[in-house]
Amino acid sequence: MPLIQVDAPLGDLDKSKQDALMSQLSNAVLTAEGAPLASAGAQSLVWAHFNEKPQGTFYVGGVPLDKPPFRIAVTTPQGALSDETRTSLVAEIGRIVDDFVGPHEDRLNHWAMLYEVTDGGWAGAGQIFRLGDIQKAMDITAA
Domain 3-137 -> CATH class: alpha beta
| pLDDT tens sequence across 101-129 | 998 888 899 999 999 999 999 999 999 99
Q: Where are the domains of the chain?
A: 3-137
Category of 140 on φ-ψ map: left (φ > 0), alpha (ψ -120 to 50) or beta:
beta
pLDDT score at 27: 98
Q: Could you count the other beta carbons within 10 Å of the beta carbon of residue 27?
A: 17
Per-residue pLDDT of 46-98, as tens digits, reads 999 999 999 889 998 899 988 889 999 999 999 999 999 999 999 999 999 99
Q: What is the pTM of this model?
A: 0.94
Q: What is the pLDDT of residue 143?
A: 55
CA atoms within 13 A on the CB side of 16: 0
